[in-house]
Structure 1
């Protein structure tokens, strides 16, 4: 690690380095540098592979342990991982080995969870648009299922086999409000998710739905994720808990036996500090819902981003450095295709950016305001504006920190740019070891996805004469 005081290992257009401690700078920059050097030495990154994602397997294990420890007092809890946060089979396998189940929201995600070795009894299917076939498959497998609406319960009535072992719940929207990012807030008055509890007559209809179906034994609510304060999340769970108590009380039996409280722990993207923590989350729950951990209800969680975000980064080569209108611009291979949310919603999803030289070492020198742009062919493909970093040059590398969830695992196929390879890594003393998670996409695979096999099919439809 270069000790030069001018080193600015990473910066962010909104939160510059003065908000970060030197200790955190050293930690992130040094770990990234060691992995970059290993990747460059072993051909995992370079001119031929200009972008890649990296996941810290030890960090993931530590984060899972922190989650389990925070909920240790709960006598019956199933922690599931939201597969949409990292739809990569080796990652799901690693999480399953650490005691995690899977929360899935599509046939594809269900397939990935099963391929990763997750037992059907530890999988929960959530989706607002389940087809008859998807419902039937889940019930046949014994996968838990949360109906999104009352009409879906009617479908389950018709499809549920007599020997069904699936735990079936109903998702409700407690309508407690939204956080600072509307797209991440799922408990607003008009959210598309769940049964809106505060709409006229809705609560009574939910009561009746449970009265009519003794096999309906779970309530589910998810208030939102990034941008939602813990107090808001806890308020939504408290409302769901009160509804469960109402229903069981009115029925005179303990029909609802478990609560799926969703996930949504926000992630701090401004520095290395993990905040809020799972302990903070549990404290907020205990304050809002004192009886939640007394064992009357089994609990299910569905965390995603908070488990992986800080355990991964994207590395990308700087292809060009240029000036435009007095502004310095570093054109890299990590843009909207791998950091879609940050490019399209920069105010909501700012990322820290690290500057490294062609050998993978942190760059030194005075900080220079510069834009870090991506390769996509539209003007807005900028990951960060006016980042204070040592001047980036052709052949250098940038690192986008805290991108272990959603970013490189869920790429956008804009411009038919190939999906980057993803590697897991572990650091043991002086040794860095990497393992493949996903291979880089080939041009042949891009062509196959783009219908090359059917290249002549439209010509065969006939019709207008070809142009001469």
Structure 2
């Protein structure tokens, strides 16, 4: 069965079950559990089995607790960047020692909570280090603690997604004058600093660039351990950032290529001297979710066909505001969930419901001619889309549903997040 056929089966079952309805539920999102499982297993098999490795899912990519619970059951840890994400990870059942806390702006309260729980901590800067020192002087902690380094190896194709540039806001800049020596001194003065972290960036960062950043991390850890006279740094958190293929239906992320590039550009990582932590997010889930929305109206403006749907900036924020960096593939289906024939393709805009002119999820796209009552699907949206809604126009949050599809069987749905109703929003606004 083609991937379009798989989505068609999901849509038809969702329509029959009332999860997708032109009046009651004109917008919904779906997560394919079988595909998620295969992808996570591929990640785990890509890294050498002789290494101690924790694959910590970047919770910012999808913080819905049932999704996190499923990933925990598949053997992943969690990487969090706020108090809210930490709470979500704990509710999903992650043990504190399998959670990593990253943030450039951790408050006193967040630091105390993480250290009391025993959550691993990546310190962002020297001022934060002083806070941690003060807390530890008052209350011991079992947390593994390290410092985030900015290897300053350069930026990728999307500047906003690159975190290892000369002026990045993240981490301690390794190549700034005097910073390397100051970092090493911090480790030698604080032997409880037993890990080190870097993250070069995410979408748009080529694998050789990521490998160069990881190699700088390993070189730094080796230097600390040499000067300390013992293996003080024991764990290297190499971040995530594997770019996602947004152009095809290929369901498995290129984790083998990622590991091969690390073998080429940062071979010491695999020596066995260090435990490894990864922080993949988008590459775990993006390809395994899609958003479905009904076409409410169609019109022609200036000779251009426009389909107005219920999917816009409120769920596809990055695509609407940065369309060149975050284009999405779009498919068209009939009101019954059958794929529309490609022979009817015309150039169209696909617009959302938000009250501003730029609310477009596709511009000048050749698609089967859409008519009111059709369904459009936004593909590769399992991360950062429906799970991270933008409350523009107080639009209701769509339902998110997990899908289980045994071979040849009817799709079965589980509720990941209940659909929000307009009445609920009104009640909240008037209380």
CA 1:223/1:449 → structure 2, altered by over 3 Å: closer, same or farther?
farther
Q: How does 1:161-176 map to 2 (within 5 A)?
A: 162-176=139-153
Distance (whole Å) between structure 2 residues aligned to residue 148 and residue 192 of structure 1? 9
Q: How does 1:429-440 map to 2 (within 5 A)?
A: 429-440=408-419
Whether contact under 8 Å (1:74, 1:294) holds in the other structure is no
Distance (whole Å) between structure 1 residues aligned to residue 304 and residue 422 of structure 2? 34
Residue 140 (str. 1) matches residue 109 (str. 2): no
Q: Residue 338 of structure 2 aligns with which residue?
A: 361
TM normalised by structure 2 equals 0.97
CA 1:112/1:276 → structure 2, altered by over 3 Å: closer, same or farther?
closer
Q: Residue 270 of structure 2 aligns with which residue?
A: 293
Q: Which runs of 5+ in 1 are unaligned?
A: 1-25, 454-468
Q: How does 1:18-37 map to 2 (within 5 A)?
A: 27-37=2-12
- The Cα RMSD (Å) is 1.2
Following superposition, the deviation at residue 274 of structure 1 comes to 5.1
Q: Residue 46 of structure 2 aligns with which residue?
A: 70
Whether contact under 8 Å (1:268, 1:275) holds in the other structure is no
Q: Residue 88 of structure 1 aligns with which residue?
A: 64
The SS at the match of 2:185 is helix
The SS at the match of 2:279 is strand
Whether contact under 8 Å (1:267, 1:275) holds in the other structure is no
Q: Residue 446 of structure 1 aligns with which residue?
A: 425
The SS at the match of 2:367 is strand
Whether contact under 8 Å (2:57, 2:77) holds in the other structure is yes
Whether contact under 8 Å (1:318, 1:394) holds in the other structure is yes
Whether contact under 8 Å (2:305, 2:347) holds in the other structure is yes
The SS at the match of 1:303 is coil
Whether contact under 8 Å (1:124, 1:145) holds in the other structure is yes
Q: Residue 245 of structure 2 aligns with which residue?
A: 268
Query: Cα deviation per residue 1:109-142 (whole Å; 9 max; x = unaligned)?
Result: 0000000000001000000000011000000000
The SS at the match of 1:265 is coil
Distance (whole Å) between structure 2 residues aligned to residue 377 and residue 442 of structure 1? 19
Query: Cα deviation per residue 1:145-180 (whole Å; 9 max; x = unaligned)?
Result: 000001111000011255411000100100000000
1:236 to 213, 227, 241: 213
Query: Cα deviation per residue 1:255-299 (whole Å; 9 max; x = unaligned)?
Result: 000100000110010111257610000000000111211210000
Higher relative contact order, structure no. (Cα contacts within 8 Å, ≥ 6 residues apart): 1
Distance (whole Å) between structure 1 residues aligned to residue 424 and residue 82 of structure 2? 23
1:131 to 107, 128, 132: 107
CA 1:244/1:179 → structure 2, altered by over 3 Å: closer, same or farther?
same
Q: Residue 182 of structure 1 aligns with which residue?
A: 159
Whether contact under 8 Å (1:319, 1:395) holds in the other structure is yes
Q: Residue 398 of structure 1 aligns with which residue?
A: 376
Q: Residue 174 of structure 2 aligns with which residue?
A: 197
The SS at the match of 2:415 is strand
1:374 to 338, 352, 356: 352
Distance (whole Å) between structure 2 residues aligned to residue 449 and residue 163 of structure 1? 42
Q: Residue 280 of structure 1 aligns with which residue?
A: 257
Distance (whole Å) between structure 1 residues aligned to residue 389 and residue 352 of structure 2? 13
Q: Which moved more, 1:67-76 or 1:190-199?
A: 67-76
TM normalised by structure 1 equals 0.90
CA 1:283/1:165 → structure 2, altered by over 3 Å: closer, same or farther?
same
Following superposition, the deviation at residue 211 of structure 1 comes to 0.9
1:313 to 272, 290, 314: 290
Q: Residue 206 of structure 1 aligns with which residue?
A: 183
Query: Cα deviation per residue 1:43-62 (whole Å; 9 max; x = unaligned)?
Result: 00012101011000111111
Distance (whole Å) between structure 2 residues aligned to residue 28 and residue 401 of structure 1? 11
The SS at the match of 2:147 is strand
Whether contact under 8 Å (1:104, 1:125) holds in the other structure is yes
Distance (whole Å) between structure 1 residues aligned to residue 265 and residue 150 of structure 2? 17
The SS at the match of 1:431 is coil
Whether contact under 8 Å (2:300, 2:306) holds in the other structure is yes
Moved over 6 A (4+): none
Distance (whole Å) between structure 2 residues aligned to residue 85 and residue 444 of structure 1? 28
Distance (whole Å) between structure 2 residues aligned to residue 142 and residue 159 of structure 1? 13
Residue 246 (str. 1) matches residue 230 (str. 2): no
